[in-house]
């Protein structure tokens, strides 16, 4: 396997030395591993910038009034937030914690959209005190809570309503969200979405701005976006405008845009998503004679995943003749729960000898106390030797964000690389971090 065969999953700046040593952002991974230790998460600044700007450009070309929000849940830290806000992106946040990090990174909070199917009253209070731009309502009790807090603070809070169009985006069952049987969104089909809007517009402390849907993730097909927008357009026309007399000035088809995890994955380009989303909305608005809303897009994975790569050191090897060879590494489900949770599949690279031929099929095992702690099953690699480095590309989204201290693992160091320079974005945890909350 050479890096040319991995051009869909590696960060954009990936290269290799003549000796076959993987380089990201002009830095070789061996030197980075020596300096920062492993497991190590490396984010490529060039990829973050280019992948984010691809979304901004694709929608700017296809629609008169669009705004790209980075979905913080994919991965966020202050330096990462600053990089994206320097590119003029807005943000989607789903907890007080994410909002606090965005605030500490000096993000303009009026450009933050607060999502979640059960935001707690303290979270809502704090978000409004900090001045988040939009709260995306996702439940009846929340309508009362947000209205009450807005009253108490003496403000009018702009809100969107998350609706469920009843469209299956054909993702993993744990990541599909736009169907009727989901905890997210008020269904259009059962009349709850209409009821929620009637309730919102009765509250003087709430300013109803529009609708949001999110179908799931990662969505490789374009068709679900078209179907979802058609359902919402009918709802906007017949229920919002004609029945309730409210206009929908803002609209979000959510995020969920796919990224490649295997090099054979072939996700649509941002401009293809932009084309189907914008064309469907423009056609529907024209047909039904409503004005085009401001649209917000929420890519997370499709910016962060490919920008990041995880590097591990190989340790023990266990051969079970005729069955499987396990090669264990110094990380696992504590920093990457996705294979255990979603059966996610990744490429694996012998990072110090990327041009070496494949010699065997092995399963890369994590070091944690679960049999299901396997990072990659049955992957083709050169014969891996204890002490050498492997890299797992497309590791920048929903890995660190879902990381844990299971087995009291230290969360890994996270670095940024660019033009041959590296800098720490988050240091590796140490024992005192694990004990900082103990009352002894």
Check: CB of residue 306 under 8 Å from CB of residue 47: yes
CB of 216 to ligand PLP, least distance (A): 8
Which H or E run includes 260?
none
Residues 236-265 that bind ligand PLP (CB under 6 A): 254-257
Query: Which residue in the list 27, 240, 278, 369 is annotated as catalytic?
Result: 369
3, 27, 74, 143: residue in contact with ligand PLP (rule CB under 6 A): 74
- The whole-angstrom separation of Cα 289 and Cα 210 is 17
What's the min distance (Å) between Cβ of 8 and ligand PLP?
17
Is residue 193 classed as helix, strand or coil in its secondary structure?
A: helix
Q: How far is the CB of 296 from ligand PLP (least distance, A)?
A: 10
**Choice between 209 and 367, CB closer to ligand PLP:** 209
In terms of Cβ atoms closer than 10 Å to its own Cβ (0-12, 13-18, 19+), residue 152 is: exposed
Nearer to ligand PLP, 257 or 368 (CB): 257
Query: Which residues ranging from 280 to 299 are in contact with ligand PLP (CB under 6 A)?
Result: 298-299
The Cα–Cα gap between 212 and 293 comes to: 12
Which pair of structure tokens corresponds to residue 169? Answer: 């985006």
**Distance (Å, rounded) from C-alpha 272 to C-alpha 391?**
30
**Quick one: tokens of 391?**
């890299």
The minimum distance between CB 427 and ligand PLP, in angstroms, equals 25
Question: Which position among 228, 267, 300, 366 is part of the footprint of ligand PLP (CB under 6 A)?
Answer: 300
Task: For residue 408, count CB atoms less than 10 angstroms from its CB and return exposed for 0-12, middle for 13-18, buried for 19 or more.
Answer: exposed
Nearer to ligand PLP, 232 or 327 (CB): 232
Q: Which is nearer to ligand PLP, 212 or 411 (CB)?
A: 212
Question: Would residue 369 show up in a list of annotated catalytic residues for this protein?
Answer: yes
| Structural contact between residues 273 and 263, judged by C-beta atoms closer than 8 angstroms | no
Pick from 92, 330, 352, 418 the residue near ligand PLP by CB under 6 A.
92
Q: Which of residues 320-339 bind ligand PLP (CB under 6 A)?
A: none
Binding residues among 105-124 for ligand PLP as defined by CB under 6 A: 115
CA-CA distance, 331 to 392, in Å (whole number)?
11
d(CA 163, CA 103): 28
- Nearer Cβ to ligand PLP (224/300): 300
Residue with the shortest CB distance to ligand PLP: 300
Q: Minimum CB separation from ligand PLP for residue 300, in Å?
A: 3
Q: Which is nearer to ligand PLP, 133 or 256 (CB)?
A: 256
| Interface pick for ligand PLP out of 301, 353, 367, 411 (rule CB under 6 A) | 301
**Distance (Å, whole) CA 44 – CA 29:** 12
Total of residues contacting ligand PLP (CB under 6 A): 17
Residue closer to ligand PLP by CB (options 16, 217) is 217
CB 384 within 8 A of CB 390: yes
**Coil, helix or strand at residue 301:** helix
* Total residue length of the chain: 440
Neighbouring residues of 66: CB distance < 8 A, sequence distance ≥ 6: 59, 60, 278, 294, 295, 296, 297
Q: Is 224 in the site for ligand PLP (CB under 6 A)?
A: no
CB of 305 to ligand PLP, least distance (A): 8
CB of 217 to ligand PLP, least distance (A): 3
Identify which of residues 265 and 356 has a Cβ nearer to ligand PLP in the complex.
265
Q: Which of residues 383-402 bind ligand PLP (CB under 6 A)?
A: none
* Residue of 38, 302, 336, 363 that binds ligand PLP (CB under 6 A): 302
Residues 6+ apart with CB under 8 A from 120: none
Stretch that binds ligand PLP, among 80-88, 214-222, 235-243, 401-409 (CB under 6 A): 214-222
Listing DSSP states for 58-96 in one string gives HHHHH-SSEEEEEEGGG---HHHHHHHHHTT-EEEE-SH
Distance CA 419, CA 305 (A): 20
The phi, psi pair for 298, rounded to 5°, reads -125, 65
34-73 residues near ligand PLP, rule: CB under 6 A: 71, 73
- For residues 308 and 75, the answer to whether their CB atoms sit within 8 Å is yes
Catalytically active residues are 369
User: Can you give the binding site for ligand PLP, defined by CB under 6 A?
Assistant: 71, 73-74, 92, 115, 214, 217-218, 254-257, 298-302
């Amino acid at each position: 396997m050479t890096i040319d065969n991995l051009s869909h999953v590696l960060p954009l700046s990936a290269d290799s030395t003549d000796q076959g040593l993987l380089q990201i952002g002009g830095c070789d991974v061996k030197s980075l591993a020596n300096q920062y230790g492993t497991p190590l998460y490396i984010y490529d600044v060039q990829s973050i910038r280019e992948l984010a700007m691809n979304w901004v450009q694709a929608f700017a070309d296809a629609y008169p009034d669009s705004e790209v929000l980075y979905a913080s849940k994919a991965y966020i830290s202050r330096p990462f937030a600053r990089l994206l806000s320097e590119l003029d992106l807005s943000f989607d946040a789903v907890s007080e914690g994410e909002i606090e990090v965005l605030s500490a990174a000096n993000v303009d909070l009026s450009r933050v959209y607060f999502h979640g199917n059960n935001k707690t009253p303290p979270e809502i209070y704090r978000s409004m005190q900090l001045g988040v731009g939009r709260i995306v309502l996702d439940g009846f009790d929340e309508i009362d809570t947000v209205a009450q807090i807005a009253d108490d603070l003496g403000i009018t809070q702009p809100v969107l309503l998350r609706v469920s169009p009843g469209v299956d985006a054909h993702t993993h069952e744990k990541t599909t969200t736009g169907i009727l049987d989901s905890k997210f969104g008020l269904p259009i089909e059962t009349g709850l979405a209409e009821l929620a809007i009637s309730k919102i517009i009765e509250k003087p402390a709430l300013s109803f701005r529009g609708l949001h849907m999110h179908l799931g993730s990662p969505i490789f097909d374009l068709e679900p976006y078209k179907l979802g927008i058609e359902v919402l357009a009918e709802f906007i026309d017949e229920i919002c405008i004609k029945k309730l007399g409210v206009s929908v000035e803002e609209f979000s088809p959510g995020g969920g845009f796919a990224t490649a995890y295997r090099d054979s994955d072939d996700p649509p380009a941002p401009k293809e998503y932009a084309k189907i989303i914008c064309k469907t909305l423009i056609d529907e608005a024209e047909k039904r004679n409503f004005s085009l809303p401001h649209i917000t897009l929420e890519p997370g994975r499709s910016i962060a995943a490919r920008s990041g790569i995880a590097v591990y050191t190989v340790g023990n090897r266990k051969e079970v003749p005729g069955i499987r060879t396990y090669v264990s590494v110094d990380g696992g489900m504590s920093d990457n729960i996705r294979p255990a949770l979603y059966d996610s599949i990744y490429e694996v690279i012998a990072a110090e000898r990327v041009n070496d031929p494949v010699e065997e099929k092995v399963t890369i095992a994590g070091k944690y106390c679960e049999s299901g702690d396997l990072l990659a099953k049955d992957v083709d690699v050169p014969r891996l030797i204890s002490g050498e480095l492997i890299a797992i590309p497309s590791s920048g989204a929903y890995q660190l964000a879902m990381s844990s201290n299971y087995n009291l693992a230290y969360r890994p160091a996270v670095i940024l690389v660019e033009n041959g320079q590296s800098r720490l974005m988050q240091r590796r945890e140490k024992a005192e971090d694990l004990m900082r909350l103990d009352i002894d």
